[in-house]
């Protein structure tokens, strides 16, 4: 794999950690590192980081879109429901996306800072 990690910004690291801890648990992804008050990472060989902007300026999302593999279509559904309960916003309800493949089943969520995340099971 040529990508080492992906990072998205947040204006509230504590709220973002609560959001991602709950949402990623549905995909069997655990938090692997925390820098208090600054950032947190999830995953092992490939990491997803959420953190405060380095320049101290507020973030409003940056048009990023990160997709995470889900073990089952049920976990995609759970990812979506948990994300909404944690304050996320719908970016696309769970369902088949035949445009991307016959068995491509996905859901899209905007997190608390408007970063778009996806769970997909193919």
CATH fold, domain 5-121, is 2,3-Dihydroxybiphenyl 1,2-Dioxygenase; domain 1 (3.10.180)
User: Where are the domains positioned within the chain?
Assistant: 5-121
Q: Three-state SS string across the chain, please?
A: CCCCEEEEECCCHHHHHHHHHHHHHCCCCCEEEEECCCEEEECCCCEEEEECCCCCCCCCCCCCEEEEECCCHHHHHHHHHHHHHCCCEEEEEEEECCCCCCCCEEEEEECCCCCEEEEEEC
Question: What is residue 97's predicted lDDT score, i.e. its pLDDT?
Answer: 93
- Tens of pLDDT, residues 33-91: 998 888 999 998 788 989 876 666 776 655 578 899 999 999 999 999 999 999 999 99
Instruction: Supply the pTM of this predicted model.
Output: 0.85
């Amino acid at each position: 794999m040529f990508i080492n990690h992906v990072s998205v910004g947040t204006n509230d690291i504590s709220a973002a950690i609560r959001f991602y801890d709950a949402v990623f648990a549905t995909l069997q992804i655990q938090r692997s590192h925390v820098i208090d008050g600054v950032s947190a990472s999830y995953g092992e060989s490939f990491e997803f980081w959420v953190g405060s902007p380095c320049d101290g300026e507020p973030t409003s999302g940056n048009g990023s879109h990160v997709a995470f593999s889900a073990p089952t279509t049920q976990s995609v559904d759970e990812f979506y429901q948990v994300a909404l309960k944690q304050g996320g916003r719908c970016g696309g309800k769970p369902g088949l996306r035949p445009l991307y493949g016959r068995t491509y089943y996905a859901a899209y969520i905007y997190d608390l800072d408007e970063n778009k995340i996806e769970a997909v099971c193919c």
